[in-house]
Amino acid sequence: MTSPAPEPPRPHRARSVALLTAVSALSAVSPLIALPLITRAAGPDGFAEIAIGQALGTLAATVITFGWAVRGPVEVARSADPARVFRASIAVRGANSLVALPLVALVAALASHADDHALAIVSALAFSLQGLSLSWYAVGVGRPLLSLVFDAAPRIVLNLAGAVAALLTGIPLLYPALLLVGTLAAFLVATWLLGLRERFSPRAALRDARAAYAGGWRTALAAALLTFSETAPLSTLGVATSPAAIGFAPFDRVLKYGYIGVYMITGSFQGWVSSAPGDAGLRRMRRALGIHALLALVLGTGFALVVPWATPIVLGPGFDIGPLTALLGAVALAAMTMATALGMCVVLPSGRDGAYLVAVCVGALLVVPAVLIGAAALGVAGAAAGVAVVQLAVLGVLGLTAVRILRGR
């Protein structure tokens, strides 16, 4: 007697999206809670070192992830065996870590302005390990508790513990060091419980990993280029020894925390959108875009109005963001919010990986010259203008593809 075929996955309920969004918001807020402590413990120069390490580490995390954070929720939501998908991601991300971690440490040392480079290097390694997060898997299976236990809660605890330790001891290095050790521990525990505890075929996992490399390179390349577009501004100014680098660091960090929040919130919609077929899927895509349009308006307005006066209060003296710089950051954040929604909730679930890659390539090609030219002309505000131009360009290209998809072409 043959065993019955596995049932196809059911469409996720809207409640799981709401809960996942709430958990994602907690993950996004966790670094912000620690930010005032870090800036006071490290000072402007030390914070710039941490910011450079975080920018490089975020790019390395994208390389480690190899697109799982983007396409993973779609694959898991449509799979009859989600654990098998997770095991394939473990093999891919583990192999990528062996290559990416030494390289990012070297680049961080080159970009660092400090004598010993330790703060930038350890920060880069700590934030690189975000590529081992399982939040995308929790989105795909529609289980918010997984994301809370293995992603959001550890982030909050580690950020606060590291920041407090750095402030009390006067050793800023403790902050990224605790993040590094804690993030790795959370990943190992989650990997054992979700992927390795049950019986499975290692040979099948390796075959799935090879297939993921062969079939997912477009999405992985697009994710890496997108992260490059968003992390290159500060790294570029640092490597070029631009006078705007230190003044650009607080703007860059506040904007990036906005980016992180958007990615986490938008990622929460992927399983919901991808698990519904046909016309139901298109309706969910349109609803997701409507929600993100409201989100873009709120975030953009908040950035323009709140950031100029709140930044020196929260971060401390010496961390100023002017009104013009904040306005340009608002444009960049709003454009990025809509571009992320178009890409992750419409273009990728429709199988248009090539179109997504083209849009991201546009941003990656523009970002370095746009930021360098802007910084040379108007300093920090000019660099912010370059960031806004890049985000608007990506939004425009993705918008053209999304319109055709939503019209059924």
Instruction: Tell me which DSSP letter residue 193 carries.
Output: I
Question: In angstroms, rounded to a whole number, what is the distance separating the alpha carbons of residues 32 and 363?
Answer: 27
How much is the pTM? 0.70
Q: Which residues contact 70 (CB under 8 A, 6 or more apart)?
A: 136, 219, 222, 223, 343, 344, 348
Q: What is the pLDDT of residue 18?
A: 67
Residue 14: its pLDDT value, please? 54
Supply the pLDDT for residue 293: 96
pLDDT recorded at residue 379: 86
Separation of alpha carbons 135 and 202, rounded Å: 23
Q: What is the mean pLDDT of residues 82-104?
A: 89
Residue 6, in any domain of the structure:
no
Asked if the structure places residue 5 within a domain, the reply is no
Residue 1 lies in a domain: no
Taking residues 89-111, report their average pLDDT. 91
Q: Give the model's pLDDT for residue 85.
A: 86
Q: Is the pLDDT at 341 greater than 90, yes or no?
A: yes
pLDDT of res. 55: 79
Domain tally, the chain: 1
Q: Which of the pair, 143 or 10, is modelled with greater confidence?
A: 143
Asked if residue 166 is part of any domain, the answer here is yes
Residue 79 exposed, middle or buried by CB count within 10 Å (0-12, 13-18, 19+): middle
Is residue 242 pLDDT above 70, yes or no?
no
* Host domain of residue 167: 14-406
Whether 253 is covered by a domain: the verdict is: yes
Is residue 7 in a domain?
no
Is residue 325 assigned to a domain?
Answer: yes
pLDDT single digits (tens) 128-151: 998 888 888 887 777 778 888 888
- For residue 94, is it within any domain? yes
Q: What is the per-residue pLDDT for 5? A: 43
CA atoms within 13 A on the CB side of 393: 19
Helices (H) and strands (E) in the chain, counts: 15, 0
pLDDT at 339 over 80: yes
Percent helix, strand, coil in the chain (nearest 5)? 85, 0, 15
